[in-house]
Amino acid sequence: MSARIVSVRCGVVRRALRQPYRLSFATLSHVDSVWVGVVFEDGRCGVGEAVPLPGYGGGTLDEVRDAVRGLCAGLVGHTARDALSGAVGQAARGPLAVSAVASALEFPDLAGRCAAILRVPLVFPLDPADGGSAVLCAMEDALSEGFTEFKMKIGRDLASDVAAALLALERAADVGAMVRFDANQAYTRAEAQTFCEAVNGGASEELRWLEQPLAREDWEGTAMLCASTRVPIMLDEPIYAEEDVDRAARVGAAAVKLKLCKHPGPQACVDLARRAVGAGLAVTLGNGVSTDIGNICEAMVAAELGDALTGALECNGFARLAAPALFSGLRSDRGCLVADAPRLDEAKLDALARESSWLAG
């Protein structure tokens, strides 16, 4: 980290999705990546991104863009170490913006430690709104492609959620697969309890986790749910820092999910994952609302953590894009994200800059 920064670029690039992505609080047709690129005097380059998401926290697109611009001002001439210290010291600008800048600064060293080929097992997404028969068909297709773990987005209709969940768990039991469910904070306490009671009597050995059933600020309700059900509860939206991991362990959660965009850089993400494991929590990683930029960074974090992570990961936003943002080599193969060790140069950053709707640098 001793080489000095000679140039910085940042911008916003939009990528359409192959098909609409339904969450409990929104349906997405595209993502906007606020990206940061840095070039060092030794020729190495780094990149990071933030993808603002309504309802998730971290700011609007305009707020994240402005925060990134402020963080990037004055980086030229500094080493990555000094620049990283300065960015983390401005955490009040927002976690997404800090993560994007920190990821770009740490990217060259992280990529330098990577194996020639990255291979990360992924979950396969299921949508109960498609109906039971469609869910089962999707599972069969995914199983034939090598996927062994599924993630179902729930939270829009409890009855439909339960019906689809039981079908998915039954099929998973037949083939030795695993299913996790993500409510994205959509359930009331009563609804979360009802869902847990409904699936707990079924093929619960195949149920990996119920993710974030309650609002992120409802720690009391989460503690009550953890104490009243055998369904493992995983927390996502409230997990940003060490105190959040410690609190998750205290309330009885079984697991936490980390997203690089919520933490001040890859190394901070690695450190937080190790703290969570030390607290007795299972850890998964990944952001389904991101581009190949964020996912390649998360794949490198996963390579650093190795067996500290549990189950298939969620670094699958790249697979939803109609076209990649920067790293065209990312692909899905036999249920895994597969990529050559990332190679980045100034020409690639320039190409990304040319198609960005807003640019500074």
Q: Answer for the pair 10, 34: CB distance below 8 angstroms, yes or no.
A: yes
Exposed/middle/buried for 113, CB within 10 Å: 0-12, 13-18, 19+?
exposed
Q: What is the pLDDT of residue 56?
A: 65
Q: In the chain, what percentage of residues exceed pLDDT 70? A: 96
Q: What is the pLDDT of residue 22?
A: 86
Q: Answer for the pair 258, 234: CB distance below 8 angstroms, yes or no.
A: no
Tell me the mean pLDDT in the region 34-54.
95
Q: What is the pLDDT of residue 356?
A: 92
Q: Which CATH architecture has domain 117-340?
A: Alpha-Beta Barrel (3.20)
Q: What is the pLDDT of residue 94?
A: 87
Nearest Cα residue to 308 out of 277, 287, 338:
277
> Hunting for tokens 């690039």 — which residue is that?
13
Q: What is the pLDDT of residue 142?
A: 97
Both tokens assigned to 212: 């974030």
229-283: pLDDT as tens digits = 999 999 999 999 999 999 999 999 999 999 999 999 999 999 999 999 999 999 9
Q: How many CB atoms lie within 10 A of CB 91?
A: 14
Q: What is the pLDDT of residue 176?
A: 95
The CA dihedral of 359, 330, 113, 262, to the nearest 10 degrees, is 60
194-204: pLDDT as tens digits = 999 999 865 47
Question: How far is residue 80's CA from residue 264's CA, in Å, rounded to a whole number?
Answer: 14
pTM of structure: 0.93
Nearest Cα residue to 127 out of 274, 220, 28:
28
> Hunting for tokens 């595209």 — which residue is that?
30
**Domain segments of the chain: what residues?**
5-114+345-360, 117-340
Q: What is the pLDDT of residue 63?
A: 92
Question: How far is residue 111's CA from residue 299's CA, in Å, rounded to a whole number?
Answer: 10
Q: Which residues contact 80 (CB under 8 A, 6 or more apart)?
A: 1, 3, 5, 38, 40, 46, 105, 106, 108, 109
CATH code of the region 5-114+345-360: 3.30.390.10
Nearest Cα residue to 142 out of 326, 349, 358, 332:
332
Type and span of the H or E element at 184 = none
Q: Answer for the pair 89, 83: CB distance below 8 angstroms, yes or no.
A: no
